[in-house]
Amino acid sequence: MGAFNGSLTYRQYFVRAPLPDDWRDRFPQRIADFSAKDIDPKGEEERGVGWCSAHFPLDVDLHEGLYLYNDYLALSMRVDTLKVAGPTLKIHAELECRRVIAAQNLESLNRYQRAEIKEQVKLQLRKRILPSIKAVDFVWNLERQTVWFWSGSEKVNVEFQELFEQTFELPLGSDTAYTAAAYGALGVSDEVVTALATLQPSFFISGETGLAASLEISGGR
């Protein structure tokens, strides 16, 4: 969702280091190393993230023709989730506990036996379900060092920042007026950047004025 269709909600970032001269040699392998991998149903992992094509989430055989558009790099971060729903697990675990009790002619099972059965049932159910797949687009203007990521979720944005920095080995920060100036996007002088760093926030309304306005609106209550 995002750059090519779907949601218009996005967050903007700024790459806080210059693009390496050999990026066209380095990036293809780095992107391949961090491409999306299927979750192993035999394991315990419930969530996985990695890169995929911005046009089709199951296309992870990535090459420049899929993600380079002149001065832009476009990919999707694929989020796979393989998790057995709690109520479903509870029902099937109880069913298996009853089967074991009947088969072994037991009066009951202790909590350790039940916990072991629950884990076995969870593994069996993981093999029977497909992971949910969500792909979130990101676009990187390589010349301006500006990045757009089409998700407002805090958790997903944190995962994106971590994946971006691991893949490209470049620091990523929120795109603000200061970061844009500090890293050369605005073309301002070093003196201006230094002055910006010393600025303090200002209140456009004083505490007393704000209280008076609030009381007037509420009728003095």
Q: Report d(CA 102, CA 104) in Å as an integer.
A: 6
pLDDT tens digit sequence for 48-82 = 999 999 999 999 999 999 999 999 999 999 999 99
Q: Give percent helix, percent strand, percent coil of the chain, each to the nearest 5.
A: 40, 20, 40
| Rg of the chain on CA atoms, in Å | 26
Q: Is pLDDT of 90 > 80? A: yes
The pTM of this model reads 0.75
Looking at per-residue pLDDT, the higher value among 199 and 104 belongs to: 104
Q: Report d(CA 1, CA 22) in Å as an integer.
A: 30
pLDDT tens digit sequence for 114-140 = 999 999 999 999 999 999 999 999 999
Residue type, 84: V
pLDDT at 199 (0 to 100): 72
Count of helix runs (H) and strand runs (E) in the chain: 8, 7
Mean pLDDT, range 92-96, rounded to an integer: 97
Residue whose tokens read 């009853």: 98
